[in-house]
Every structure is written in C-alpha cells, then in structure tokens.
Structure 1
Amino acid sequence: MNIDTPLQLLGGLAPKTFMQRHWQKKPLVIRQAIPGFVPPLDRSDLLDLAAQEEVQSRLVVQASEGGKQPWRFKHGPFGRKALPPFKQTGWTLLVQGVDLLDERVHALMNQFRFVPDARLDDVMVSYATDGGGVGPHFDSYDVFLLQAHGQRRWRIGKQKDLSLQPGMPLKILAHFEPEMEFVLNPGDMLYLPPRYAHDGIAEGECMTYSIGFRAPSRSELAGELLQRLAEDAGDAVGEGLYADPKQAAVAQAGQIPDTLVAFARKALEDALRDPLALQRILGEYLTEPKGHVLFDAEATGEADAGLVLDRRTRMAYDAKHVFINGESFLASGRDAQLMRLLADERVLGATSVKRLSAPARELVQDWLEAGWIHGDN
C-alpha cells in the first residue's frame, strides 16, 4: 500500500497523514468514506450467522423507561425465535469476527492494512432496531465505525471520569459527558482512539461495521510470553538439578540460601540466553488464531500455482523469522523475501512460488494441506 496516496476511506488524508494526526490521538468523522456502500451482509445473513454454534454473538436489550432491568445481556447462539421482534425498539445483535466468516467482509478489513497486521483484530457487525445501542462506554482499543445501513446518532467525548455504573451486565459509564454529536449515514465512518467515550443510538433500523484493533495490556503480554518461555525452558536450560555439597549446617532453617537464589537467577538467564527467543515467542503469540478458528485441512491446490492466504490465516515476519498461525520458521535470503511478500500482499504469484527453495516449497505444500493457504489457479 502506498501510504502517501490520499484515500477516500480516510476523508482524503493519506494513511501517513492520518496516522500522524489522528491515530491514538483524536477522533475523525469521515463523510462517505465508502461512497454508495452496500453492506456485504444483510439482516437475514447476520441472523443466520448468529444462529451458528461456532460464531460469537451477543444480544443487548434496553428496557423501556422505568423498567426494573434497564439493560439485559445474553450470549448466543440465537435462533430466530430467541430474538425480540423487529418491531420492538431498543435491542442490538452483535456478531464478532465476521471477517473470518465472509470473504467480502475480509476484503473490507484489508482496506485498513496501513496499520500493522499485528494490530488488526476483527470486524464486528451490529444490527439494531430503533433506539438500540449498548450504552455510553469506552473501548481500550482503536476502532473504525462504518455505517452500513440506516442511521446512527453518535455522541462522543474525551472523558476523564471512566467510572462505571454498578450492577450492570454491561460496562456503562456512570457519568457520560458528550462533547460532540452527529448522525452517520451509510458509507460514513467514525474513527475513535482508545478510551474515547461514545454512545451510538440507532435512528430506525440500522447496521454498523466495527473494525477493531487489538491492544494487549502489559500484564497480558508479559503473562503470555512468560508462559510460552516456560514451555520452552526445558530445552533452553536443561534438566540439571540444584546441588549444594558445600552447604553448611544452619541455625536459621527458614532462611532461603543465597546459592539457591543464584541458581534460580541463572536458570532464568539461560532461558533468555537465545537472543531470538523473545522475537520468536512474540511472533508466535501475535499470529496465533483465535481459539474458535478451524481450518479446512485438505489440499486445495499445488505449490506450483500461485498462493492466496486463507482469510483466517495470520502471517507476519521479523528480521529473522516468518510466522504463520502460531508457528515460527527461521528464514533468510530469497525464501525470506518471498515469504515476506506473501505476508504483505497475502498472495504470491506462480512465478514467485517457483523461485522458492525445495525445503520452502515443501513447507508451502504442508500449509496447503492444512488449509492455511490455497492455490490461486
């Protein structure tokens, strides 16, 4: 992608300019980000997805004024009879990870690849009846809110007080203070940085596509990486036992010996001795498919043909590795260049495939048979 070329998607800003001015800094309302936008999925399609066991869906219902339960929340799957009538106001159906389920929605998400793939999360599609919404709240990640059908009124504010209403099934702000208000029509889009408070209310029946970006916390990232490091610790540090042949008799048995502390410190240092260990486990973590993702494990072409990554496949690279769906491979030279091209473009032409080394072509064939990539015949 040419990051210096102005995009209608970003209101005439080049990706480079958008990232400098707005990304993680301030909101942007973009009128007709996608002119004449026709949503890939209509209401019926979304309801069909919400009825499937393997699809993550949620239902939010706002009670009429004075109701004992102002908000009700439920996880799917939802058969049609489990949903309120369309004439009932104030309810919202949310379906997560739609880009993994529909090639057209995946193509829509790919328009946002001026942000690193390591940050792209998924596309959530919401359907709401008149007055529907999920209450004033904030997200801990960046999001583009693309209006797909009907109208939605947004109120947003750079809120300092992020306290939540107690006893609610949803994370609803206790003291929402909007600063701006506007209505989005089909094709309009709103970008919001993390922790920017917002409240979207459907004006009539509406659908919104939310393109979200993952933002792991320090604790989440540290815990995940340490767990993966621990799994590899046996190979890195060996199975040598602590030995203390010079340990003297002690009068204070409760004190931990300094030699044992030093032994533990050395074990941790050895676990991190490989200079590539951190990069490797980070790349594996960032490309790990979500737990509910399944691939069709069957060959769909030959390695001699051009290649296309499956829409569910996560692929990335660093200076030394290529990562795909939680696995890592050391790569250098021409193979590394071609694998990086596949990760960047998500396709690799037949001519380029033929330039891969024999071991790399064998690896590609394994990925074909696993359903991670497909032949582009």
Structure 2
Amino acid sequence: MPTRPSHHHAGPLAAPLPDEPATLLGNLTPTQFMRRYWQKKPLLIRQAIPDLTAPVSRDELFELADDEDVESRLITHFRKSWAMEHGPFAPDELPSVKKRDWTLLVQGVNLHDDRARALLNRFRFLPDARVDDLMISYATDGGGVGAHFDSYDVFLLQVHGKRRWRIGAQRDLTLKEGLPLKVLQHFEADEEWLLEPGDMLYLPPHIAHEGVAEGECMTCSIGFRAPSESELSSQFLYHLAERMDDGSEPGSKGAARYRDPAQPPVSHPAQLPPMLVERVGSILANVQWNEKDVSSFLGTYLSEPKSNVVFAPPRRPLDESGFIERAKQIGVKLDRKTVLLYDKRFYFMNGEQILMPTKARKWLTELADKRYLEAKRFVTLSDETSMTALLHEWYCAGWIQVDASA
C-alpha cells in the first residue's frame, strides 16, 4: 500500500532529549518521566501530540488487515457474547462500520507504513531493545476488548474519535473462564477519563484497564517487550549451545562425548543410572558464561525480526559504485522493519552479530541511533571500502534504503 515517507530530522517528530521538557510527556523531561512513572504508576497526558491525525486512515487499516503478512484480530461483543477471529480479513468479512460493539486490532503497523514508523520514533527516549510495536485499534461505538491487564508497559494514544478509559490498580487478576480473550472477572475502576485525539494514557504492567469507544474511534498502542525469565533462560541456553563446537574437532569446547567406563552391569535396565545423573550434573555445572555472552545473546535475540517480517529488496538494485554515488547525494536510512542495536564490542542487525573495524564504528553507531546517515556524512565514509561494501550488501537485502526522505 502507498505510504508517505517518514521524517527523521530533529523537530516535532523526533524523540525528546533526556533532559528536554516534552509535550509528549506532559512537559516532563524523559528523565523525570522515567524516574517518576515508568513501571511505577499511570500518567494521563492531555494533548501529548496536538493536532494529531491518525497515521493511517480507516480504509488503509482495513487494507492492512487483508494482508497475510500482517497480524490482525477481530473482536466482537455482539449480544454480550465475546468472540475473536484471526486475520487476514477480506473487506466483506468485517462487520459494517455502522454496527456497534466490534474492534479490529492490527499489530506492527510500524512495519508496514512509514507514518506509523515515524510516530513510533517519537518514543525513542526508550531503548529500541525494549520496544515491541505500534498496534492500531479501530472500534465502532461501544467497541473494546473488555477489562484486562497487560504484562508490559503501554502508551495508549488516541488518534481518531473518542475512547473512555477506566483503570484500577486492583490485586484480583482472576479471569473469566471460557472466553477467547483475557477478560477480568471482577474489574473495579479507580479512575476514568475520556480521551480525544492527541490525548495519551501511559500504563505500567498489571494496571487493569478497559477502553470503550464513544462513536467510531482509532487508538495507537505503543507496546514494549517484557520476556519472561523462563523465555530468556531457555533462549540464552539455546544461544550458548549453538555457539559450542559441533564435535567435529576432538578436544574442542563442547566436542567431548559422554563416557562411562566404570558403569557396572545392571539388573534394572529401565532405571536411570545414578552415575549418568551425577556425570551430566558435573558437565552442566561446568557450563560458564560472561557479560560478553549475555550481551551477544541479547543483541541477536532482540534484533531478530518477527516470523512474519519480510524485507523487500530494491527491484532494480544499484551496483556498489552506483549505490555509493547515490548515497553521497541523498544519504541512507534504515528500512522501517530493520532493527540495529549495538554494545561496546559488536553491532546486531536483524539477528546477525557484526564486528566492525574501529574506524567504521562511529558511522554505524550514528546510523543505529538516528536510523539514517546524511549525505555529507556518507561522503567522508565512502573511503571505508569494508563499510561501503557492507552497506551495499544491506541495501541489496532491503535492510537499508537510499532515499531522499532520509
């Protein structure tokens, strides 16, 4: 679907600086917001983004919901009965916009539209590694998803129409049984507000909330990743195991095989041998890791694209020299689906770990933090052949773009 280019320059669409009062945060600085509210308590911000229009229109959102590469859900509450379906949805599969009590949720709109990506960029006072996506909820009058709680932080930004929010810091998080979505059994609201376009509500994890559309409305939800301890542990151990030798080199790390030369004969063959348990326990006790291993895991894991993300290479890619000349004129920018993270040793691009020469690090750091490199910066970079070759490779893969809008 056609998109308007995003704007990355400093100004109203840029993320506020840590100690710069921001309209987005109710004239708090990001430092004040993080210290007082982040993961602590809710905050209502009237006119966080004045004169805001929805990043996509209703028809464009419906078009996205018809795309098999886009995650979408339809939630209805007809005759007081909850139902949920997963997309894609053909236009005639959605209820009439004149019918009450239904909601369309479209995940990851920032992956498919530059305007949504630009809106998400405003929240880059928070680490990219923690950001999940920008979801858009379209609802007809009375539409909502029921009283619920999330296990992650969320900014609820009203972009069209009005939605009434009720929230409560209740301890009883029991869910109603037999429903296709998580709805609280006993919701008790402490506060209530009507949000209009430009208004925003921040909620930390586990604050119960219910949003109901008053007339047709659209809400952007900026959500954040909060992996469970078990997910992080299992993925990290898998990451370690992948990097151990496959056993082809005798004597190398991970290559040794299990041995039990002292195993006696058994009369109970189905019993787990105590010697096996003890020996494997000692092997696992010797598994070690350090801060470098943890950082490497997090960089690759948190930059890995979701399974439904597909990059679009340029239809007629420029050769390397043509790419360099074009970039010298208009610069380069990260594709809206690309995640580029870094630590003090490595860069992590869409799940891959990259070691760069020291001279090239400042350029790649700037590209990661700004999501673009200006043309004048690329002119001085063009002498670094290893860097330009890598950037051209990413360009051919659709990970970065040469684009005048950068």
TM more than 0.5: yes
User: Given the alignment, which residue of 251, 256, 277 partners 2:293?
Assistant: 277
Verify the 8 A CA contact 1:242 1:260 in the aligned structure 2. Answer: no
Q: Aligned residue pairs: how many?
A: 371
Give the Cα–Cα distance (whole angstroms) in 2 for the partners of residues 22 and 221 of structure 1: 25
Comparing 361-370 and 210-219, the one that deviates more: 361-370
**AA in 1 matched with 2:112:** L
SS at 1:147's partner residue?
strand
| CA distance in structure 2 between the partners assigned to 1:255 and 1:171 by the alignment | 42
**Bigger Cα displacement from structure 2, 180-189 vs 229-238:** 229-238
Shift of 1:77: 1.0
- In structure 2, the CA distance between the partners of 1:82 and 1:16, relative to structure 1 (3 Å rule), is same
State the Cα deviation string for residues 251-293 of structure 1 (Å, max 9, x = none).
78757465874466446745x4676333212210000001111
Is 1:362 matched with 2:378? Answer: no
1:297 positional shift? 2.4
For 1:369 and 1:335, locate their aligned partners in 2 and report how far apart those are by CA, in whole Å.
20
Q: 1:338 aligns with which of 363, 370, 390?
A: 363
Corresponding residue of 1:287: 303
- Tell me whether 1:234 sits opposite 2:257 in the alignment: no
- Measure, in 2, the Cα distance between the counterparts of 1:188 and 1:273: 46
**In the TM superposition, what is the alpha-carbon distance from 1:332 to its structure 2 partner?**
5.2
Q: Secondary structure at the match of 1:207?
A: strand
Q: Secondary structure at the match of 2:174?
A: coil
Asked whether the equivalents of residues 263 and 275 of structure 2 are also in contact (C-alpha less than 8 Å), the reply is: no
**1:7 alignment partner in structure 2:** 22
- Cα separation, 2, equivalents of 1:322 and 1:364: 13
How far apart are the structure 2 equivalents of 1:290 and 1:211? Answer: 17
Query: Paired residue for 2:401?
Result: 374
- My pick for the range that moved more, 89-98 or 362-371, is 362-371
For residues 264 and 234 of structure 1, do their structure 2 counterparts lie closer, same or farther at Cα, with a shift above 3 Å needed?
A: farther
User: SS at the partner of 1:113?
Assistant: coil
Contact 2:55 2:119 in 1 (8 A): no
Q: Does 1:97 align with 2:108?
A: yes
Instruction: Please report the TM-score for the alignment, with normalisation by the length of structure 2.
Output: 0.86
In the TM superposition, residue 6 of structure 1 has moved relative to its aligned partner by 0.5
Equivalent residue, structure 1, for 2:347: 322
Contact 2:334 / 2:371 at 8 angstroms: preserved in 1?
Answer: yes
RMSD across aligned C-alpha pairs, in angstroms?
A: 2.2
Q: What's 1:19 paired with?
A: 34
Helix, strand or coil at the partner of 2:231: helix
2:144 is the counterpart of 1:133? yes
Deviations 1:182-236 (A, max 9, x none): 1001110000001110000000111111111111111111112222222222257
> d(CA) in 2 for partners of 1:85 and 1:148?
21
Deviation at 1:24, TM superposition (A): 0.4
- 5 Å matches for 1:10-159? 10-65=25-80, 70-159=81-170
Q: Counterparts of 1:285 and 1:125 in 2: how far apart (Å)?
A: 25
Q: 3-state SS of the aligned residue for 1:175?
A: coil
Residues 166/6 of structure 1: CA separation in 2 closer, same or farther (3 Å cut): same
Say if 2:43 and 2:203, in contact at 8 Å, map to a contact too.
Answer: yes
Q: Give the distance between the partners of 1:360 and 1:20, measured in 2 at CA.
A: 39
Q: Once the 2 structures are TM-superposed, how far is the Cα of residue 23 of structure 1 from its aligned partner?
A: 0.4
Unpaired runs of 5+ in structure 2? 1-15, 247-251
Residue of structure 1 in register with 2:3 after alignment: none
TM-score by length of 1: 0.92
Structure 1 112/275 Cα, relative in aligned 2: closer, same or farther at 3 Å?
closer
What fraction of aligned residue pairs are identical, expressed as a percent? 49
| Higher deviation after alignment, 250-259 or 213-222 | 250-259
Secondary structure at the counterpart of residue 276 of structure 1: helix
State the partner residue of 1:347.
372
Aligned to 2:202: 191
Question: 1:205 is matched with which residue?
Answer: 216
Counterparts in 2 of 1:325 and 1:248: CA distance versus 1, 3 Å: closer
Does the 8 Å CA contact 1:10/1:33 hold for their aligned counterparts?
yes
- Measured against aligned partners, the alpha-carbon deviations of 1:93-129 in whole angstroms (never above 9, x if no partner) come to 1111000110011000000001100011111111111
Q: Tell me, what secondary structure is at the counterpart of 1:281? A: helix
